[in-house]
Chains A and B, each alone.
Chain A
């Protein structure tokens, strides 16, 4: 089935380490997003990309960077992880062509920075 896959599912890392979260999709969607979810704060947008050559910052991009390697792949990097980046991270996709309206979310990556 067409889906959105995130790796790893869980990760524990130390403060100061560089870490990459990966997202790939088989839905053929052009738009991809990274969100983080914290209890009581909902989902907040980190970065988004409308196509391979289009990368944009969201509301909480500080400390993060992204790479859109192909239409189907969108990676999120934490250059030097800090404890307040401990969160549940979701990748999402959407289709601008009008074939569907909503996001499709990946299964999430639970990141713990110690």
Chain B
């Protein structure tokens, strides 16, 4: 089955700096890679996703890159703000529709943005 590793487990950055979280996956067939943000006491929320036919996707201050050859993908947050403080999860799955299906999650990164 799929295995997803995520690093680092904790990350502290100053407001305005960039943050990068990295994940690797084991199943070369995986074709869908979402990122979720979980604030304290709340449910995980999808913030950005990428499919295997795309190398990079950007949404305002958030971007995700995918390297299929190396089987790794990364989340980049620029100009970090205090409200970016949360736990972030990467995930991976394969489905013929290219949608979320039996997602395997990484173990999470706790991001703290300090003033």
Using a CB–CB cutoff of 8 Å, the interface residues on chain A facing chain B are: 31, 33, 35, 40-45, 48, 58-59, 90, 94-98, 100-103, 105-108
Contact = CB atoms under 8 A, between A and B. Distances in A.
A103 B100 contact: yes
5 contacts: A95-B99, A98-B99, A102-B34, A103-B44, A105-B44
B89 interface: yes
Given A90-B44, A102-B46, A58 B102 contact: yes
Given A45-B102, A95-B99, A101 B34 contact: yes
A96 B97 contact: yes
Q: Is the interface of B mostly helix, strand, loop or mixed?
A: loop
Contacts, number: 64
Given A96-B97, A98-B97, A103 B106 contact: no
A74 B54 CA distance: 34
A85 B98 CA distance: 32
Contacts of A31: 101
Interface string B12-46: 00000000000000000000101010000011111
B43 A94 contact: no
Contacts of B36: 102-103
A90 B89 CA distance: 14
A65 B102 CA distance: 17
